[in-house]
Chains A and B, each alone.
Chain A
Amino acid sequence: MLKYILRRLVMLIPVLLGVSILTFSLIHLIPGDPARSMLGEKSTESQLEQLREELGLNDPYVVQYGRFVGKILQGDLGESVKSQEEISIEIASRLPATVELTVFAMILAMVVGILAGVIAAVKQYSWFDNLSMSGALFGVSLPIFWLGLMMIWLFSVKLNILPASGRISNDIELHTITNFYLLDSLLTGNWAAFKDVFSHLLMPGIALGTIPMAIIARMTRSSMLEVMKQDYIRTASAKGLARHLIVFQHALKNAFLPVLTVIGLQFGLLLGGAVLTETIFSWPGIGRYVYLAVMGRDYPVVQSSILIIAVIFVLVNLITDVLYKYFDPRISYD
């Protein structure tokens, strides 16, 4: 097992190399001039030229790429062209925001999605099955933008029960340790902050979690239906085992493998794909950070952050693969 994990970690190297080359070429293919983006139209030609020289934009692409990789190998993510801040510092404050939101959304999606899927399968063609599965179809086709704005309109403008955006209210004091606000408020035992942070998480969490929730529900249902037809389930029933034991222990465990795959993939997607949610709910996360960097042609930020996101994506996939073994002991990695 350990060997397998190690092998997978070594595999990271070519993946990251590929990602870095791809990102580097793509960002340089987009028309635009970082110097001009940064200095704006009120800049003189000599100022532009000086900045291009400073940023090394006049060097051949190979040299620029080599410099980028060289720095990364020394653990230096570089400096943002726009804000002149260390990228590692900027990511350190934004990544936890996105991870917190993503984990929250995924937990929401898993709990609701799996439960709905299981019940829908067990009570196939019942009203619950029909309702939840058409709901899932609806959920998977909902544009996040629309859903987000509608929720803000309903819960913040009309009902005024949830904050419209941001991570925490301005008047709430929170001593941050990990930058995961929910965790920090728990660690410091700050219940007012916990409640505030939680209420801020709800709407973006639901908006972000809706699509994976729908996918998980449908996947769980179809997978459960298949397993429930198996002979060993009939045998278990015949033995007189309690219904909940059959469903949750015998059936779900076997039906869980494809669901796990979906969860792993969706989790990775959410990390990078939270741009829309982060925009609507003013969530200061990594998705928007990269988006703005692309728009502003902030090359170092785009390259370094995408690399970090790629690492996380690969690690999540690795964790998923390792978890397979627990659900299906027949899988062997050696």
Chain B
Amino acid sequence: MNKKVLWTLFGMLLFVVLIASGCSSDEAGSEDTGDDTAEASDDTESGEDGEKTLVFGRGADSVQLDPSQITDGESIYVTNQLYDTLVRYKEDSTEVRPSLATEWETSEDGLVWTFQLRDDVKFHDGSDFTAEDVVFNFERWATSADFIYYGYMFGATEDNLKGIIEKVEATGDYEVKFTLSEPNAPFLYTLAMPPFGIASPDAVEEYGDDYFKNPVGTGPFVFEEWVKDDSITVVKNDDYFDEPAKVDKVIFRTIPDNGARFMELQSGSIDVMNGLNPQDIEQAESDENLQIIRRPSMNVSYMAMNTDQEGPMGNKEVRQAINLAIDKEKLLTLFEGVGKAAKNPMPPSLWGYNDEIEDYGYDIEEAKKLLAEAGYADGFKVTLYSMANPRPYLPQPKVTAQAIQEMLAEVNIEVEIVENDWDTHLAATENGEHDMAFLGWTGDNGDPDNFLYVLLDKDNAKMGSAGNVAFYKSDEVHDLLKAAQTEMDQEKRSELYMEAQEIIHEDAPWFPIAHTTPPLAASKDVVDYLPHPTGSEPFNFLDISR
């Protein structure tokens, strides 16, 4: 009996060895002649019937495919292909252009917005797109706090789930009217955000809780398959009303390791990737088959100084001195080629950016002079709160904090670094526990309001839930930003924001650090990839030249 078991075991082992060796030699054999795997991947790209497939490699899977319920970039990458918004961002800026809506007008007081809709749009499930569908979607988003971006952008609270949108009505088959409770100039830009993609009401009702796995929109691609943690496949929408897609299929593949993903790109099994290791950028640039695509930045990293205190941080000269005493160019070397120096609280890709402003520059002597004038020639002690983990806008928080510590020691400012994990860091800074703190911001709707008002208006300097962690409370800035919210003319708004940036520069509540441009790497065969500042883009413009 025992002998039998032993022999069976060895028999099995032997069998497996044979199969293994047999298969692998078979494999090697076919490789020599036919290059099997390479052929397979070629198939996926240009198949026998000339079908074009784009394979996009990324580090994480999507969380859900209902854009109204998520905030992660990897979900939005995919939903951008499936849904359309009423208006959309232009391909190369955050200005808006028509999409599902062809034209729109605002009432004099800025409270009523009327949109004319296209009458030739069909959802992927075949149903017609009408004004009622827009109403359905907005009413759905106003039913629960699960619709994160709706609540966040339109100021919904537990008691008022609708936020500033009082009413949405269909005033015709293809006309929809929004009534707001207060004028909101960024409203139009907010509507262009991917979370407000219009979903098919039929599908939402049919799938219920499982809708996020069965997305149905009007976009350039139709959802086909989702293999969790592995891949998501979308195919071309032949009836798309806007620019039709040039590729027939897009596969989003999850390849967690940055290095492995880059090697997949080199071996040709994927066509585009995000999340490139900084050290791989050079290699990609020197590879004749690859190209680097740099996304215009829509973020900012900064060191906020807690202005709402007695003592040094409350003193404007001191804050200016700190701006002068830090060598920004040197800090930027820590960004390994993906960072550009920031001088304003918003990135240059946004309209309304004030390029006239000159940054403080690095000048130790001037810094010392200012400190002496403020009565701090002998220096003082401050805390610098830093997050432990890298953020997209600040790849090496710890080393950056240490560099600033060293530089400020030159002007007798003794910096104590307090490092916390991200959640704790957020809570601590919102509570104003810091003297100085690192933080950053990635824009939502491409409107300057989304940077300046959120991060530097006194309305948002509330202890405990502050977006303005400098606790900067300038009435002048507040008046300008408020005026810009109610002004509907973009040019006039732009002027107001430019002025606000000048005051902010002078008051120096921040030491602005950098805007990062996370690079994508792609095969040279991929043409017309138009990286959008918002972080992802629909793939109907790009093509594969094979």
List residues of A whose CB falls within 8 A of some B CB: 31-33, 36-37, 39-47, 49-51, 82-84, 90, 93-94, 107-108, 110-111, 114, 148-149, 152-153, 156-157, 160-167, 169-172, 195-196, 198-199, 202, 248-249, 253, 278-282, 284, 288-289, 292, 326-327, 329
Contact = CB atoms under 8 A, between A and B. Distances in A.
B20 interface: yes
Given A43-B71, A326-B6, A170 B229 contact: no
Nearest to B161: A46
Nearest to B64: A83
B231 A170 contact: yes
A90 B465 CA distance: 35
Contacts of A157: 263, 266-267
A43 B269 contact: no
B145 A46 contact: yes
Contact of B16 (A82, A107, A326): A107
Contacts of B38: 160
B228 A93 contact: yes
B423 interface: yes
Contacts of B229: 94, 284, 288-289
A3 to B, nearest CB: 20
B109 interface: no
B96 interface: no
A170 B249 CA distance: 12
Nearest to B233: A170
29 contacts: A31-B420, A31-B421, A32-B424, A40-B72, A42-B152, A43-B71, A44-B156, A46-B157, A47-B151, A111-B13, A111-B16, A149-B257, A149-B259, A156-B267, A157-B267, A164-B269, A170-B53, A171-B47, A172-B40, A195-B26, A195-B27, A196-B40, A199-B27, A199-B36, A253-B6, A280-B257, A282-B255, A326-B6, A329-B2
B264 interface: yes
Contacts of A327: 2, 6
Interface in B136-169: 145, 148-149, 151-152, 156-158
A44 B228 contact: no
B256 A37 contact: no
A160 B37 contact: yes
B260 A108 contact: no
Given A169-B40, A249-B6, 20 more contacts: A41-B426, A42-B444, A43-B151, A46-B151, A94-B229, A108-B20, A111-B16, A149-B257, A149-B259, A152-B264, A156-B263, A156-B267, A160-B37, A161-B36, A166-B230, A171-B40, A195-B27, A248-B10, A284-B229, A284-B254
Interface string B205-247: 0000100100000000000000111110100000000000000
A161 B28 contact: yes
Nearest to B10: A248
B143 to A, nearest CB: 13
A94 B426 CA distance: 34
Given A50-B158, A164-B267, A284-B229, A31 B424 contact: yes
Contact of B23 (A37, A47, A195): A195
Interface of B: 2-3, 5-6, 10, 13, 16-17, 20, 23-24, 26-28, 31, 35-38, 40-41, 43-44, 47, 53, 55, 60, 63-64, 71-72, 145, 148-149, 151-152, 156-158, 209, 212, 227-231, 233, 251, 253-257, 259-260, 263-264, 266-269, 420-424, 426, 444, 465
Most buried by A among B212, B255, B426: B255
A156 B40 CA distance: 13
B257 A279 contact: yes
A148 B256 CA distance: 13
Contact of A84 (B3, B44, B212, B254): B212
Nearest to B144: A50
Nearest to A196: B40
The SS class assigned to the B binding surface is: helix
A44 B151 contact: yes
Contact of A46 (B23, B40, B158, B421): B158
A210 to B, nearest CB: 15
B423 A31 contact: yes
Contact of A167 (B35, B53, B230, B424): B230
Contacts, number: 168
Contacts of A170: 44, 53, 55, 231, 233, 251, 253
Contacts of A172: 40
B37 A149 contact: no
A80 B444 CA distance: 27
A178 B264 CA distance: 29
B145 A50 contact: yes
A169 B27 contact: no
Contacts of B230: 166-167, 282, 284
Contacts of B209: 84
A292 to B, nearest CB: 8
Nearest to B159: A46
Which 4 A-B pairs give the minimum distances between C-beta atoms?
A284-B229, A40-B71, A47-B145, A282-B255
B6 to A, nearest CB: 6
A280 B148 contact: no
A183 to B, nearest CB: 13
Contacts of B20: 108, 111
A288 B61 CA distance: 12
Contact of B71 (A39, A44, A83, A282): A39
Contacts of B421: 31-32
Contacts of A164: 260, 263-264, 267, 269
Nearest to A289: B229
B23 to A, nearest CB: 6
B2 A161 contact: no
Given A42-B71, A148-B260, A169 B157 contact: no
Contact of A171 (B43, B254, B444): B43
Nearest to B209: A84
A171 B231 CA distance: 12
Contact of A169 (B10, B41, B423, B444): B41
Most buried by B among A46, A51, A90, A148: A46
A196 B41 CA distance: 12
A256 to B, nearest CB: 8
A156 B264 contact: yes
A33 B425 CA distance: 12
Contacts of A40: 71-72, 148
B148 A284 contact: no
Contacts of A198: 23, 27
Contacts of A281: 260
A202 B20 CA distance: 9
A165 B158 contact: no
Contacts of A326: 2, 5-6
Nearest to B391: A41
B31 A280 contact: no
A39 B264 contact: no
Nearest to B7: A249
A33 B423 contact: yes
A281 B269 CA distance: 13
Nearest to B269: A164
Most buried by B among A108, A253, A282, A292: A282
B269 A163 contact: yes
A189 to B, nearest CB: 16
